[in-house]
């Protein structure tokens, strides 16, 4: 039996809704370790969760999805954080390399069909990466998108994997306050207005009064790459 099926998810969700991030991380590692991983996009707002993982459950693998479209500064920042916090990073890659992708779809797939581009470069590699794990931690917050506002701390995916969201109740203001309080490093492009950073072709700087996610897939309806959309709900 899938171990997730033995958990009373409604009761646990009620309890964990009021738990702190370190408490949720400790529960997750005690319950699933070592068959649990986290994922990170290694941008400034990712650093509080990375910092808390390094303190609470330092052996937790942190999956980094190297789509091949990242800013070089993101890769540098990932390496900097890996050394600073002695992280257990797992780099994963799409099964289709970039020259094959360009040959098959042209160089502008991210413009002509961003959902397909995200599926090939993000969703499919992540599905492969989590095989063998029972739970997956992600740093999504309710204040980021309409979809994320409806998430609970624990969500089961259709493949039986348990998604755990220890940062769900944090606000943008709390993220920056934590970064200031602990003097955490910022992504090298942060000062240029890159508040939320993903692949370079789909990220642009935002003005300070704009929502941070407005810099992602600018001008398109798309707000999610698909990694956070597979949620199984019984109700």
Residues making contact with ligand SF4 (CB under 6 A): 67, 69, 110, 114, 117-118, 121-122, 198-199, 201-202, 225
Q: Closest CB to ligand SF4 among 60 and 120?
A: 120
Residue 224 Cβ, how far from ligand SF4 at the closest point, in Å?
10
Q: Closest CB to ligand SF4 among 85 and 105?
A: 105
> Which residues are CB-neighbours of 97 under 8 A, at least 6 positions away?
68
- Measuring CA to CA, which residue among 55, 61, 63, 67 is closest to residue 98? 67
Residue 8 Cβ, how far from ligand SF4 at the closest point, in Å?
36
Name the residue whose CB lies closest to ligand SF4: 199
> From residue 143, how far is each of 79, 103, 121, 177, 217 by CA, in Å?
28, 39, 26, 16, 18
Order of strands across the sheet with 88-92? 88-92, 61-65, 36-39, 135-137, 162-164, 154-156
User: Helix 172-181 vs helix 47-56: angle between axes, to the nearest 10 degrees?
Assistant: 60
Q: Closest CB to ligand SF4 among 122 and 148?
A: 122
Distance CA(216)–CA(203), nearest Å, equals 5
Q: What phi and psi, each to the nearest 5 degrees, are found at residue 51?
A: -60, -45
225 carries an active-site annotation: yes
Residue 170 Cβ, how far from ligand SF4 at the closest point, in Å?
23
Q: Closest CB to ligand SF4 among 3 and 106?
A: 106
Residue 73 Cβ, how far from ligand SF4 at the closest point, in Å?
16
From the list 57, 117, 199, 225, the catalytic residue is 225
The residues annotated as belonging to the active site are 225
């Amino acid at each position: 039996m899938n171990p997730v099926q033995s958990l009373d998810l409604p009761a646990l969700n009620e309890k964990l809704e009021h738990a702190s991030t370190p408490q949720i991380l400790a529960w997750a590692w005690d319950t699933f370790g070592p068959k649990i991983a986290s994922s990170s996009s290694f941008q400034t707002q990712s650093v509080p969760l990375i910092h808390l993982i390094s303190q609470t459950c330092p052996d937790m693998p942190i999956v980094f999805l190297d789509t091949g479209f990242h800013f070089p500064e993101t890769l540098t920042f990932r390496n900097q954080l890996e050394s600073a916090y002695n992280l257990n990073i797992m780099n994963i890659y799409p099964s289709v390399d970039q020259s094959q992708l360009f040959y098959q779809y042209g160089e502008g797939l991210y413009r002509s069909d961003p959902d397909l581009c995200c599926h090939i470069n993000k969703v499919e590699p992540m599905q492969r990466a989590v095989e063998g794990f029972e739970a997956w931690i992600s740093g999504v917050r309710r204040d980021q998108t309409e979809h994320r506002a409806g998430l609970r701390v624990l969500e089961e995916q259709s493949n039986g994997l348990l998604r755990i969201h220890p940062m769900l109740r944090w606000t943008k203001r709390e993220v920056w306050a934590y970064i200031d309080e602990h003097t955490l490093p910022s992504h090298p492009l942060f000062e240029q207005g890159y508040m939320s950073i993903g692949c370079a072709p789909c990220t642009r700087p935002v003005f300070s009064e704009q929502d941070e996610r407005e810099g992602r897939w600018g001008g398109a309806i798309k707000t999610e790459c698909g990694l956070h959309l597979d949620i199984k709900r019984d109700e």
